[in-house]
Structure 1
Amino acid sequence: MLRSKLTDSPLLKVSRPVSACSRCRSAKVKCDNKLPACTACEKAGREKECTAANDQFARGKERSYVAALELRIEKLERRLGYARSMKDSVALNGPDEPPAGDPNRKDSMAFIRAAIHRKAVQTQEDADINTLVSDFGYLAVNTTTRDFEPSESNMTFARLVLAASTNEPVPTPRTADLPAESTARALVQFYETNVIPIYPVFPGTLLHALVSDLYQQHRRQIRSSEYWLFWMVLAISSASQSRSRRDEHYQHAVEFVGRALPHADRALRPGYGTQVQSLLLLTQYSMLDPAHFDSWHPIGFTCRAVVDQGLHQDPPHIQQMGQDALNERRRTFYCTYALDRAISMVHARAFSFYDEAVCVALPSPFQASSTLSGSTTAKRSPDASLPLFRLRQLQSEWYQALYQGNPNEHLPDITSFIWQKYREMWEWSERLPPDMPAAIREMLELELRYSYVYCIASNARGAQVSAYGKLLIFDHVISYVDRIYDIAKLAENAAVYTYHDALRVLFMGSQFVAVLQEIGDLILSGSSIPSPAPGKVLPPPRPVRLDRGTGDDLDRSVRCLERVKLTLRLYGDRWESALSCLKNFEGLSAEVWKNLTTRQAMRNPAPTGQWLPIPGA
């Protein structure tokens, strides 16, 4: 299916960094979009000549994006018309009609010509559509332009976003009525106590005030952006509480999204302050419903809107902006930054913008509700979003250097670099507030172990992981899998977990299998693996074992592999895509699983008269 092809290999380049500068584009060389001048212009000594493609859209030089799309569509229509005329003049039979003569004759010229032509037409149509989608990336889309106003064109920015982001169409809502006020308030309270502490895009008081306005007998005029906010918050809260794609919570979530979509044109319209917040809500929901939306595209569009609106830079004169407004602006940016880093890492893709282009201070702390159970009683707790923002900054530093940087660029002493970043993340964990809500602390600790493994594992720089580094991966994966399995099984405070956690489980399990394949005999034999000789940075100590009394390393390994499968199966009931992760892991770990279970059977022979288990059964 063409739609699946496009989402599997996305060609929509608009969600990635801003377009190449004019000099790189004319020279047809890769531009890294660094500010204030790209690397190519710096090396050529032409920093002052480095102008972004967006400079074409300076006042008085606007070029209509919609007009460019219309020209492209007109060109495609001419090519399709030409293809149809060729079909009528060349083909002896229509592509949907059976060939003349005996259809069983393999040498029938009519059959051969019809088949060749059908394939040529289909290939051309696929190429035309791929070219059209790909061309979005070469057109300088400025998300602040008024070309996307619904009243001026049928091609709106919202429709472009939804076309790129939608996997399966959202069903038409069954009703046009508001839900019961008690239901709406419970879902808004759930969002305030579970999501806002991590991603404070807007204050919870705003949501409660909006609910009050909506349920008044003579309510004021509600804007489309407010309706979008209301319905998307209800959808996110419902999807967060879902445990199966067949349960009532998920059905309600899809219904609420269907109610929000008619307001997308106005809510996502460029150049307005509500655009970024509305895109962030779509991104948050897409992480909970991969069947209908792909989170990779919404966060890309959000980052583009952030850059075009200049939110990636603090205002030059801070004193001209109130402190509250400045903190709100910074929180909006760092929510986008945190989601972009998380989504890019879990998909092993490039960030939407480099850290070098960012100059935004962390916002001041704010007091947020700490209850994570949906209860209406909530005490005040420290701002949990700031530790998350700081962790994303630390992750971004090593991910850019190890995975996103130029592999030909020399990075001296990669091992010391990795140990240094490991230490910085450990120091971050030691500074977490002691009164942080337990569920958020647990989520951050799981993210920390995931980061340890990701940073140590083999990378694009080609550095070899030492045996001691693999031992650290072994320990961290076991601790991670033990806890994420309990969370998935018991659904404890699972509101902070998304489909991306299924992808993280697959990644951690894959790294565990790789370690067992490479040094499994060394670990399982109990041989000592010494810490490497200290270089510029001391290697970290081996983490304290949290599962004492549960067997030796062989038992731990078997249990870890089993729990990866069980966790993915539990997530598969909630997200069908997780079942593909399970299938991939089962194939990846089949040989290791067989070897481990065989070792167990040989070490623990069955009592006389009982059958031995078949390895791998």
Structure 2
Amino acid sequence: MSATLFLDKPLLKVSRPVAACSRCRTAKIKCDGKLPACSACERVGKSDTCSGASDEFARGKERSYVASLEGYCERLEKKIAELRHLKTSLSVDNRGIAHQNSITSITSSESAAQGPNKEVSDIDDLVGDFGFLSITHLLQHYFDTLYIQLPFFAETSFWTSVDAMYQSGGRFAKPFDHWMLYTVLATSSASLSYEIGDESQQDALSYVTQALQRAEDVLRPGSIQGIQAIMLLAQYSLFDPKHFRSWFLVGMAVRVMVDLGLHQDPPVEVQSSTKHLDLRRRILHCLYSLDRGASTVFERPFSFSDESVNVALPSTTAGSMLSEQSHLFLRSSEPAWHLVKIRQILSEAYSRNYFHDHDSCPLYAKSTWALGAEAYEWFDATPNTTPSQFPVLYKLELLYTVIIILSPNDEPPTAVGEYRNVVLFERCMQYLGQIQETLRNPAWSPFLTFWDMHRALQAIRRLTRELTENHDLPLSPSVPVLPAVPPETPSALVLDGEDCLNFYARATACLSDIHCILRFGLRKWGDDPVFEEMQQLSETIQRRLISSPAPYMAGAGAGAGAYMAGYSTMVSTGPGSGYPGYDIG
């Protein structure tokens, strides 16, 4: 039986409602109690505000629910009888083809009138099914790659919106249902785009255009759905910086979040359901992650401080979370909350550098090496539920956080600072090499956003600074002598002379990595000041490498060392790997 017929005759339509909806009571008119909205509210276009759709109103209708189920069963029996009658009216010709008798095919004027409507309804359902199948791969990609990083809405609520969109031609879908589905599709398509104007980018622009048609209805302050709507657009902006500015969108969502008080857990005595509390916490921590990412990328102050937040992480053992994890198709949000923890370390490191002139800043008490140790401890504590591709994302987050931790902050140069510069030089090369390695794997490259291009630029700036200002150690023509290693330095950040012997060769390879990143960014996003500066810095690095003396390279045995030839262009990676177009220069 067509799903449209079920929705045209709601199951909870009652003959004698226990109570009228608020609008009918105020107007003192008859209310038929139909759900999700009564007929009177539907006629005047007030379906969304009809109180008949609320749980409180529906609680009084259990008595008529049984009667509605009986009516539903009666309609099913009638449909079965019609199908049996249709079967008897069929005749088979000598070729084995079934034909319907023109006289018995229509038994009454009523069925004759309903015939065209039923046919149209069945076609609508069929088109809806095919339309859903055409976007399944995009939804799968979004939840496997992007949602697990920022689960700021319940996955079950999203599939409810999808059902509303593809059932009965979307007549019962609300503006937020349209917004959620189209922004998710736009974000998924944009992440799969590798070149300006390709099919994925065109699809993304088409989807976001359809979403923006509902902007006035969903981008409204004062509600959790309003925050989610802004966050969905901010997430899309990470892949489409030409049309949307992620910094302003994240700041807008934070402002609404603070106005609603989501940055503080409500007192126990006034807390609502576990599900609602979990949603509040999801939104807060996802916004925290976005704000810390945006602030460090664009080198601006945070929208709110760490001290102003008093919200626990969403528990993976809470009732609502347990129900999600028990579902075969729903994802665990534990990897996302682990990602929030490294953003907290990043926040502390960035605050140290940004507020280093303020003696009263309590965060400044932690040393550089203590923060570095925390970062590596975080990486070693990766959850077991982490998807297979997530360690790559975690590695990028770790290296970028360490770069921010090690970045100088105008303090007087000391021996500790000199050693820190050496480690910073090495970690910048490692970070850029990790991005290039990510680009070589088609399964990993959709993780990279325009923010990663900004982060790469920051690493290139620091790398260039070390090559131009502190070049004696990185490009030393002899076996280098490292500065004294601070005693509190974690083992992961301890270097020795052997680690520095290949700095020249690694810097040369790093220049090739920069060219690969630059090529990817230009293909995906086109001309941008980020890539212009990246190109200029790469030329500076190249000139510095060409003008440097031949470095000393250690040999296999004693006295087997040799001096390496001068700078030479690296050979590009061979074909057959990387994102589509990776090998096109």
- Classify 1:361/1:551 alpha carbon distance in 2 versus 1 (closer, same or farther; 3 Å): same
Residue correspondence of structure 1 range 604-615 to structure 2 within 5 A: none
Specify the alignment match of 1:595 in structure 2: 544
Residue correspondence of structure 1 range 134-145 to structure 2 within 5 A: none
* 1:554 matches 2:504: yes
Cα drift, residue 538 of structure 1: 4.2
Write the distance in 2 (CA, Å) between the matches of 1:343 and 1:474.
Answer: 24
Specify the alignment match of 2:294 in structure 1: 343
Write the distance in 2 (CA, Å) between the matches of 1:217 and 1:411.
Answer: 58
- Classify 1:551/1:277 alpha carbon distance in 2 versus 1 (closer, same or farther; 3 Å): same
For residue 297 of structure 1, the aligned residue among 231, 245, 248 is 248
Specify the alignment match of 2:55 in structure 1: none
Q: Is the 8 A contact 1:367 1:380 kept in 2?
A: no
Q: Is the 8 A contact 1:474 1:515 kept in 2?
A: yes
Write the distance in 2 (CA, Å) between the matches of 1:332 and 1:463.
Answer: 42
For residue 529 of structure 1, the aligned residue among 472, 482, 490 is 482
Residue correspondence of structure 1 range 255-404 to structure 2 within 5 A: 255-317=206-268, 320-365=271-316, 366=321, 383-403=334-354
Specify the alignment match of 1:409 in structure 2: 359
Of residues 330-339 and 415-424 in structure 1, the stretch that sits farther from structure 2 once superposed is 415-424
Q: Is the 8 A contact 1:367 1:381 kept in 2?
A: no
Cα drift, residue 460 of structure 1: 5.8
Write the distance in 1 (CA, Å) between the matches of 2:168 and 2:306.
Answer: 49
Cα drift, residue 540 of structure 1: 5.0
Write the distance in 2 (CA, Å) between the matches of 1:482 and 1:276.
Answer: 36
Q: Is the 8 A contact 1:368 1:382 kept in 2?
A: no
Residue correspondence of structure 1 range 77-92 to structure 2 within 5 A: none
Cα drift, residue 205 of structure 1: 2.6
Q: Is the 8 A contact 2:151 2:333 kept in 1?
A: no
Q: Is the 8 A contact 1:475 1:543 kept in 2?
A: no
* Secondary structure of 1:502 counterpart: helix
Cα drift, residue 539 of structure 1: 5.6
Write the distance in 2 (CA, Å) between the matches of 1:412 and 1:200.
Answer: 31
Cα drift, residue 191 of structure 1: 1.6
Higher Cα Rg, which structure: 2
Q: What is the aligned length?
A: 422
Specify the alignment match of 2:521 in structure 1: 571
Specify the alignment match of 1:478 in structure 2: 429
Q: Deviations over 1:434-464 (max 9, x none)?
A: 4522321211111111111111112266776
- Classify 1:310/1:460 alpha carbon distance in 2 versus 1 (closer, same or farther; 3 Å): farther
Q: Is the 8 A contact 2:464 2:540 kept in 1?
A: no
AA of the residue aligned to 1:247: D
Write the distance in 2 (CA, Å) between the matches of 1:458 and 1:515.
Answer: 11
AA of the residue aligned to 2:469: E
- Classify 1:211/1:515 alpha carbon distance in 2 versus 1 (closer, same or farther; 3 Å): same
* Secondary structure of 1:524 counterpart: coil
- Classify 1:222/1:443 alpha carbon distance in 2 versus 1 (closer, same or farther; 3 Å): same
For residue 224 of structure 1, the aligned residue among 146, 170, 175 is 175
Q: Is the 8 A contact 2:195 2:524 kept in 1?
A: yes
For residue 586 of structure 1, the aligned residue among 530, 535, 554 is 535
Q: Percent of pairs identical after alignment?
A: 30
Cα drift, residue 589 of structure 1: 4.3
Write the distance in 1 (CA, Å) between the matches of 2:506 and 2:457.
Answer: 18
Write the distance in 1 (CA, Å) between the matches of 2:282 and 2:399.
Answer: 26
* Secondary structure of 2:493 counterpart: coil
Write the distance in 1 (CA, Å) between the matches of 2:485 and 2:550.
Answer: 34
Residue correspondence of structure 1 range 188-267 to structure 2 within 5 A: 188-217=139-168, 219-267=170-218
* 1:183 matches 2:134: yes
Q: Is the 8 A contact 2:227 2:256 kept in 1?
A: yes
- Classify 1:220/1:385 alpha carbon distance in 2 versus 1 (closer, same or farther; 3 Å): same
AA of the residue aligned to 2:368: I
AA of the residue aligned to 2:532: K
* 1:420 matches 2:363: no
- Classify 1:193/1:423 alpha carbon distance in 2 versus 1 (closer, same or farther; 3 Å): same
Write the distance in 2 (CA, Å) between the matches of 1:558 and 1:349.
Answer: 32
Tell which has more relative contact order, 1 or 2 (C-alpha 8 A, sep 6+).
Answer: 1
Write the distance in 1 (CA, Å) between the matches of 2:304 and 2:363.
Answer: 26
Residue correspondence of structure 1 range 41-60 to structure 2 within 5 A: none
Cα drift, residue 495 of structure 1: 2.7
* Secondary structure of 2:172 counterpart: coil
Cα drift, residue 292 of structure 1: 0.7
AA of the residue aligned to 1:484: I
AA of the residue aligned to 1:231: Y
Write the distance in 1 (CA, Å) between the matches of 2:185 and 2:486.
Answer: 55
* 1:466 matches 2:387: no
AA of the residue aligned to 1:580: P
Q: Is the 8 A contact 1:185 1:208 kept in 2?
A: no
Q: Is the 8 A contact 1:381 1:437 kept in 2?
A: no
AA of the residue aligned to 2:212: L
In the superposition, the TM-score normalised over structure 1's length comes to 0.63
Write the distance in 2 (CA, Å) between the matches of 1:201 and 1:414.
Answer: 31
AA of the residue aligned to 1:527: P
AA of the residue aligned to 1:205: T
Q: Is the 8 A contact 1:188 1:208 kept in 2?
A: no
Specify the alignment match of 1:442 in structure 2: 392
For residue 515 of structure 1, the aligned residue among 447, 462, 466 is 466
AA of the residue aligned to 1:308: D
- Classify 1:302/1:368 alpha carbon distance in 2 versus 1 (closer, same or farther; 3 Å): farther
Write the distance in 2 (CA, Å) between the matches of 1:551 and 1:583.
Answer: 31
CA RMSD of superposed structures (Å): 3.2
Write the distance in 2 (CA, Å) between the matches of 1:238 and 1:413.
Answer: 40
Write the distance in 1 (CA, Å) between the matches of 2:299 and 2:359.
Answer: 20
- Classify 1:219/1:553 alpha carbon distance in 2 versus 1 (closer, same or farther; 3 Å): closer
Task: In structure 1, list runs of 5 or more residues that go unmatched.
Answer: 1-176, 371-376, 607-611
Write the distance in 1 (CA, Å) between the matches of 2:330 and 2:264.
Answer: 34
AA of the residue aligned to 1:445: K
Q: Is the 8 A contact 1:524 1:553 kept in 2?
A: yes
AA of the residue aligned to 1:563: D
AA of the residue aligned to 2:217: R
Specify the alignment match of 1:22 in structure 2: none
* Secondary structure of 1:260 counterpart: helix
AA of the residue aligned to 1:451: T
Write the distance in 1 (CA, Å) between the matches of 2:333 and 2:151.
Answer: 13
AA of the residue aligned to 2:482: I
Write the distance in 1 (CA, Å) between the matches of 2:543 and 2:232.
Answer: 44
- Classify 1:406/1:591 alpha carbon distance in 2 versus 1 (closer, same or farther; 3 Å): closer
Write the distance in 2 (CA, Å) between the matches of 1:431 and 1:614.
Answer: 39
Of residues 499-508 and 312-321 in structure 1, the stretch that sits farther from structure 2 once superposed is 312-321
Specify the alignment match of 2:383 in structure 1: 433
Q: Is the 8 A contact 1:190 1:237 kept in 2?
A: yes
- Classify 1:367/1:236 alpha carbon distance in 2 versus 1 (closer, same or farther; 3 Å): farther
Cα drift, residue 570 of structure 1: 1.0
Q: Is the 8 A contact 1:489 1:567 kept in 2?
A: no
Write the distance in 1 (CA, Å) between the matches of 2:228 and 2:367.
Answer: 36
AA of the residue aligned to 1:417: S
Q: Is the 8 A contact 2:155 2:330 kept in 1?
A: no
